[in-house]
Amino acid sequence: MAIKNIVLPMLGPDGKPMQVVIDEWLHYPLFSTIEIGISGTAPITSSDAINLRAFSYIVGNRVPATQSIAPRLADERDTNMVKRQSMSYDEAFIFYALTYEPFALNDLGATTSAVAGPLKAAAPMVNSLNLKRLERDLVTELLVGAQQKKPQFRVPWSLVRQSIGAPAWTSGDQIAPLTNIAYGTAGNIKPQNQRKLELPIYIESQQVMFLRVFSAFGNVVGLTQALRLRIWMDGLKRRPVA
């Protein structure tokens, strides 16, 4: 067993023996994937009802997804959590920023009646209108602690910006007559473009936690692509000291 606490032969201001705590804190963002399916027939489409928990599983568990998405087991691309819905007994986390990466699971895209013609976004590109529909309807919240119902962090998805991924560039070229690429991102792809917390949230060892993503209206009206969202909680992680 590692030595973590060294008791000094002196008393502190509170009259208790002073201690030196040996810890290793690293910049170690946590990530977790959720998947959102679509229902209906074009041009009238929407998402499935959305109420998913990210950071609630580890590799080998089922990836949280809505009803129309085929079940699948998570691998190393989906999450780097080492314990389901909790920090491990020898780790802790300081959460200070939130961001995400969107991936389309189909290239249905969206259409428009404009003279420019249909807008296409071949998977894994996400149509910019679909990202705006997510921002309009989704809410995310972080719950910390067993049986807790009051979130420590809650924002509409429109305030969660994208700092990871591939930048989108508009070339002006057509891929076919009257057909244009419509590739969207949730803001400029740079480290500064994250949803930063006013105060960091400390998640203790073995403390229950998960990030809930939901739509208050049940589904996202008009969504035309099934989506995979890889959500990142940026912060510092306490690693085991050997």
pLDDT digits (tens, 9 = 90+) for 68-113: 999 999 999 999 999 999 998 888 999 999 999 999 998 764 444 4
Q: Is 99 exposed, middle or buried (0-12, 13-18, 19+ CB in 10 A)?
A: buried
Give the three-state DSSP class for 171. Answer: coil
The 10s digit of each residue's pLDDT in 173-182 is: 666 666 777 8
Which pairing describes strands 119-120 and 179-181: parallel, antiparallel, or unpaired? parallel
Distance, CA of 37 to CA of 48 (rounded, Å): 6
Question: pTM of the prediction?
Answer: 0.85
Higher pLDDT, 85 or 217: 85
Is it true that domain 25-105+131-162+196-239 has CATH number 2.60.120? Answer: yes
pLDDT at 116: 44
* Ordered DSSP codes for 85-109: TB--TT-EEEEEEEEEEEEES----
Supply the mean pLDDT for the chain.
Answer: 86
- Give the 3-state secondary structure of residue 170: coil
Q: What is the pLDDT of residues 119-134, one digit of tens each?
A: 777 788 888 889 999 9
Domain boundaries defined on the chain: 25-105+131-162+196-239
Coil, helix or strand for 44? strand
Confirm if 143 and 149 have CB atoms less than 8 A apart. Answer: yes
| DSSP secondary structure letters along 119-137 | EE--TTS--HHHHHHHHHH
